[in-house]
Amino acid sequence: MSDASPGTVVLNVSGLSKRFGGLQATDDVSFDLVRGSIVGVIGPNGAGKTTLFNQLTGFIRPDAGSILLGERPIIGLAPHVICRSGLVKTFQNVATFGDMTVLENATVGALAHHPVAAAREKAAIALRRVGLQARMETLAGELSLPEKARLELARALATEPMVMLLDEVMATLTPGEQREIVEMVKELARGGMTLLVIEHHMKTVMTLCERILVLNFGRLIASGTPSQVASDPHVVAAYLGTRAASELADA
């Protein structure tokens, strides 16, 4: 699943477009993800980031364009098939399976590729990686928010993906907790994982990601290294007047 050599493109998005009624939510978006890279997706509210993620995971069908996971075209495939092919997304906090234990949550992910006994072991390993090994028998509903964020990661990791989409994992975390997650994500990338990250917290995005895609009104208006993007006039214009603009300037 993750045996592509460094430098290969694991996700290729080309000409992706989606319209809802009068709104062009995704407008001819194209980009590549190289193995082991951490790429951020930023943009003002309503820019189309979530819609993009939903098209990658198969919950929304694009009107036009193509998505290649490895060599495989994945448009039109059901979400669970896309997951088993190697692309997984984390949800924001409320998507953990509250009535199930932490271990059971992660096991569900591992079931994507293993029968139940082996899946439990793989799940335990994933939980150890995110530091939740002491909480395995706790009900997910009783976890604290940062623990839930880590569970999201572990669950997704258990599906043994090639590409992980992180949807605002940092949203409710303290700066200290954020630093931990950032370290974890960097370690995953060093191990060969490819990550696409949506974040609103500019500082985190700038330190975590080696490359940033900027969306506005569904279009990709800029793409480059953090410093390139921060000084791009189009990007600054898009964020003009928002707090994010000053964060960009400071980054």
Partner 1 sequence: MIRILLIAVLALGLAVLPWLLPAQGYALRVVCLVLLFAAMSQAWNIAAGLSGQISLGHAGFFGAGAYTSTLLLIHFNLSPWLGLIVAGLVGAALAALISLPTMKLKGHYFALATLAFGEAMRVIANSWTSVTGGPVGVSVPFAEPSLALMQFQSLRPYFYIMLAALIVTCIAFQRIRTSALGLRLRALKNHADAASSLGVDTAAAKLFASTVSGALIAMLGVLYAQFQFFFDPDTAFSLAGISIRIALIAIIGGVGTVSGPLLGALLILPIEEATNAYLSSHAAGLSQIVFGAILIAVVILQPRGLLHLWKSRRR
Binding footprint of partner 1 on the chain (CB under 8 A): 57, 59, 78-80, 83-84, 88-89, 91, 94-100, 104-105, 107-109, 111-113, 115-116, 119, 139, 155-156, 159
User: With respect to partner 1, which residue has the nearer C-beta, 98 or 191?
Assistant: 98
Kindly state the smallest distance separating residue 98's Cβ from partner 1, in Å.
6
Kindly state the smallest distance separating residue 69's Cβ from partner 1, in Å.
14
DSSP state of 67: E
Cα distances (Å, whole numbers) of residue 119 to 31, 47, 123, 160, 248:
34, 38, 6, 11, 43
Kindly state the smallest distance separating residue 223's Cβ from partner 1, in Å.
26
Kindly state the smallest distance separating residue 25's Cβ from partner 1, in Å.
18
User: With respect to partner 1, which residue has the nearer C-beta, 91 or 217?
Assistant: 91
β-bridge partners, 40: 197, 212
Q: Answer for the pair 18, 25: CB distance below 8 angstroms, yes or no.
A: yes
What's the angle, vertex CA 70, arms to CA 64 and CA 73, rounded to 5?
Answer: 30
Query: Alpha-carbon torsion 130, 32, 204, 238, what sign?
Result: negative
H or E segment to which residue 64 belongs: strand 64-69
User: With respect to partner 1, which residue has the nearer C-beta, 93 or 223?
Assistant: 93
User: With respect to partner 1, which residue has the nearer C-beta, 6 or 115?
Assistant: 115
